[in-house]
Amino acid sequence: MRMEDLTWKEFGEVRKSISTVILPIGSVEAHGRHLPLGTDVFAPMEIAERVEAKLKERGVEILIAPPIWYGHSFVLNVFPGTINVKADTLRRYVRDVAGEFAEEGFGRIILLNGHGGNYHPLIEAAEEVAERYGVEVWLINWWVDFREDILSICSSQGHAGEDETSVILAIKPELVKMEKAAGERRTSKVRVIRKDIGFELFPDGVNDDPRGATGEKGEAILDVVSEKIARLILEAEGHERGNR
């Protein structure tokens, strides 16, 4: 269920019986000439809803929290439309939001991340919340943690690449401009921090070839990722219930 759809009274009842909350986190940033700025939030939100549906079929309820839209996007800040939040700002904000869910009584908080630049701030936020409140915090980076599964579907992965483009084709095809899809994979032997490095590593806001993307591949990615997350939650819920 979506938290924003509940009244405070309904939420008060929900928190008594639900132990897991998913907090989708992404960014608003350039994703080539073919994908929308909200790609990194659209993907984890869709995954969260599919996880919820799969769990509901098996008799387990979870709560989906409103997403955190803005993320840390230093490299892509060279492109119009990228709204970059400082890493420490994101860390403190997520820490406070997740801490509130811990205060509300949720014992498992899942940070479902859709953006690579958020990775380190989210680890620090998760550690702070886990240490302070004694709750379990999961950090799931969907394109990293399930890379092998994704690469069995797509020939490559990358920012605004084949995998991400396929996912958005599956969920918001009307926002994808495949006629403008182009790009290539670029890497650097060392991490170079420079204000304009994004122009080199992400020409046009892309770091992969997205032209092989299809909605069918996106559906397959969404299905396998949501199924695996649902199974992890089921295992955790079963373990939790077995120890009550």
Residue-wise DSSP of the chain: -BGGGS-HHHHHHHHHH--EEEEEE-----BTTTB-TTHHHHHHHHHHHHHHHHHHHTT---EEPPPB--B--SGGGGSTT--B--HHHHHHHHHHHHHHHHHTT-SEEEEEE--GGGHHHHHHHHHHHHHHH--EEEEEEHHHHTHHHHHTTSS---TTSHHHHHHHHHH-GGG--GGG--------SS----TTTHHHHSGGG--S-GGG--HHHHHHHHHHHHHHHHHHHHHHHHHHHHT-
Per-residue pLDDT for 240 more than 90?
A: no
Alpha-carbon distance 187 to 191, whole Å? 9
**Percent of the chain at pLDDT exceeding 70:** 98
Ranges of each domain in the chain: 3-230
Confidence of residue 241 (pLDDT cuts 50, 70, 90): low
Report residue 43's pLDDT band, with 50, 70 and 90 as the boundaries.
Answer: very high
Q: pLDDT by residue (tens digit) across 152-169?
A: 999 999 999 999 999 999
Mean pLDDT of 134-147: 98
121-148 mean pLDDT: 98
Whether 43 and 141 have beta carbons less than 8 Å apart is answered as no
Burial zone of 94 (CB within 10 Å; 0-12 exposed, 13-18 middle, 19+ buried)? buried
pLDDT at 189: 84
Task: Please name the fold of domain 3-230.
Answer: Rossmann fold (3.40.50)
Question: Residues 79-93: what's their mean pLDDT?
Answer: 98
pLDDT at residue 209, as a whole number:
97
Each as own residue / partner, the long-range contacts of residues 143-148 (CB below 8 Å, 24 or more positions apart, any chain) are: 144/116, 146/224, 146/225, 146/228
Q: What's the pLDDT band for 243 if we cut at 50, 70, 90?
A: very low
Mean pLDDT value across residues 86-109: 98
